[in-house]
Amino acid sequence: MAGIGFELKKIVRQGTLASYLQVALSGAMIVAGPWLITILAIGLIQRFYQDVLAEGSNLFLATVVYTYMGSLLLFGGVHYLFSRILSDLLYVRKERQTLSYLGWFLLFVGLLSALVGTFIGWTIHPYGIKNPYAYRVIAGLFFLFVSLHWLFIVFASLLRWYGRILAIYAGGMGVFVLSSALLSPMWGVAGVLGGFALGNAGILLGLTVLTLKFRREARGLVEKRGMIHTLWECTREVGKYLKTQRDLLLTGYFYYLGIWIDKILFWIVRGQPVEGTWFRIFPSYDVLVYYTNLTMIPGLVFFVVFTETGFATILRKFLEGLGRRTYLSILKEKRRLYQESLGNIWDLVLFQGCITLSTALLSYWLIPSSDLPCTVWVLLWGVFFHLLYFVLTSFLFFLEAYRGAMLSAGIFLLVNFSVTLVSIGEGRPKGIHFSASTVLQHWAEGTGISLPPGSGYLLGSLCATILAALIFLRTLVRIEQRIFSRSAE
């Protein structure tokens, strides 16, 4: 993502209001495109399609949420592995070869997500809606489109036309609005989901066009090989990465499961079933999670444009000087790297802290009221620490401290899981008839501890941030020893 940051930083240096607006919008779409589009789409749907959603509002929201959750839990580690492969190819100036791996991962993810989408469509039987069969088919296709969308977001670091990317997302939203307006009178809630799926398909099509344009301009040798040979080569190389980058792969899976584990537990224990499906939702908590997570977007854009580019710049200068400086000079540069890294992180802390505190103080007007006291504040500060944890993990990736990143992600998952069990609440909810939820509920009641929902997410993010910070500082202190010892090997 640092490549994106450097390009956006060039736009910021123009110093005009239009440049700041372009960076803000482009950065938001690049770092959180699918997520942000989903939040905006759900808001538009609830505003303009209330009558249509009356026949299955919980069904629609559950389908969207489970689709995004399922695609991330299934392919989160794959995304991390794909980004590492792209980084290695860019380092040796083989931009054109990245397209072969994009094709390989699209094929792999496409086939697997098509199977999962088929399973979703086969196992849900929604009642009381127009054209339930169409809804089942669209739900399966929607899972496929979302899963492929994540890969294009990873690949977006190579596409330098950020204004066009922004236009593609705007066009996708337009397709969604128009197609939903046309389909919903005939198919009801299935038409709304169909419009949402078509909007995502339009974005995929636009990003594919940009990728083909990139193919014509990409640097690197043109290797004329057959498709079978290319697939075999990519498969062999991906296999090597699976053996050498297991920590990175596990980091991705631990991280995304850590994000979703509290929601999953609340769905199991306190959630309500969606009729005709195996979905469960807990609206009181789910809605607050969606709104509070929006506060992370400004911090993510700040990170991509300023924090990450600043760290990447000073780290590159330090590494380039290792082979031609005296050891005393290296120690001085390391101290500078240490101080400037902390300065960059501190700037982000202040920026995101202002966003979080302002939102918390204005939460009564900005966020819908809920029957869960204190949860808004808990989630807002959980998002704050989550962003810091995300930043520190990204810096650990820069330093190739994958084992430390994996441990931090494991702590994030473990603490969130454990504390959420305690904070699940009192009283067994009606409608739960399977043993897993009953056991969890009895365990939570037996602890005698009362914590607001979201406490697991907050404490998990805090503990992961502390551990990642300690590992990051320790890695910086020993960075030259680590590099020299690797060179000696």
Strands (E), 231-384: 272-273, 280-281
Asked if 151 and 275 sit in the same domain, the reply is: no
What is the three-class DSSP state of 280?
A: strand
By CB atoms closer than 10 A (0-12, 13-18, 19+), residue 51 is exposed
pLDDT tens, residue by residue, 116-149: 999 999 999 988 888 889 999 999 999 999 999 8
Measured CA angle at 45 (ends 126, 20), to 5 deg: 140
Q: Can you tell me the distance from the alpha carbon of 334 to that of 53, in angstroms, rounded to the nearest whole number? A: 58
User: Domain ends where: 244, 265, 289?
Assistant: 244
* pTM, full prediction: 0.85
Asked if 464 and 376 sit in the same domain, the reply is: yes
**Band (20; pLDDT cuts 50, 70, 90):** very low
211 contact partners, CB below 8 Å, separation of at least 6: 99, 102, 152, 155, 159
Average pLDDT of the chain to the nearest whole number: 81
User: Domain ends where: 206, 227, 244?
Assistant: 244
Distances (CA, A) of 222 to 107, 231, 336: 22, 16, 42
Asked if 223 and 265 sit in the same domain, the reply is: no
Asked if 83 and 21 sit in the same domain, the reply is: yes
335 against 266, higher pLDDT:
266
Asked if 240 and 266 sit in the same domain, the reply is: no
pLDDT tens, residue by residue, 461-489: 999 999 999 999 998 888 766 666 665 55
Q: Can you tell me the distance from the alpha carbon of 285 to that of 288, in angstroms, rounded to the nearest whole number? A: 5
Residue 343's region, left for phi above 0, alpha for psi from -120 to 50, else beta, is alpha
By CB atoms closer than 10 A (0-12, 13-18, 19+), residue 137 is middle
Write out the two tokens for 454.
Answer: 């979201």
Q: Can you tell me the distance from the alpha carbon of 192 to that of 41, in angstroms, rounded to the nearest whole number? A: 10
Asked if 259 and 215 sit in the same domain, the reply is: no
What is the three-class DSSP state of 369?
A: coil
Q: Can you tell me the distance from the alpha carbon of 165 to that of 30, in angstroms, rounded to the nearest whole number? A: 8
Asked if 222 and 327 sit in the same domain, the reply is: no
DSSP code of residue 63:
H
Asked if 337 and 474 sit in the same domain, the reply is: yes
Q: Domain limits at 438? A: 247-489
By CB atoms closer than 10 A (0-12, 13-18, 19+), residue 485 is exposed
Q: Can you tell me the distance from the alpha carbon of 487 to that of 322, in angstroms, rounded to the nearest whole number? A: 11
Q: Can you tell me the distance from the alpha carbon of 179 to that of 194, in angstroms, rounded to the nearest whole number? A: 8
User: Domain ends where: 195, 216, 244?
Assistant: 244
Name the domain count of the chain. Answer: 2
* Cβ contact 241:81 at 8 Å: yes
Asked if 238 and 324 sit in the same domain, the reply is: no
C-alpha count within 13 angstroms, C-beta hemisphere, residue 142: 31
Asked if 216 and 317 sit in the same domain, the reply is: no
Does position 339 have pLDDT exceeding 80, yes or no? Answer: yes
Asked if 321 and 442 sit in the same domain, the reply is: yes
**Band (11; pLDDT cuts 50, 70, 90):** very low
pLDDT at 5: 42
pLDDT tens, residue by residue, 419-464: 998 888 544 444 444 444 444 445 445 544 568 889 999 999 999 9
Q: Can you tell me the distance from the alpha carbon of 66 to that of 143, in angstroms, rounded to the nearest whole number? A: 9
Asked if 237 and 280 sit in the same domain, the reply is: no
By CB atoms closer than 10 A (0-12, 13-18, 19+), residue 479 is buried
pLDDT at 260: 95
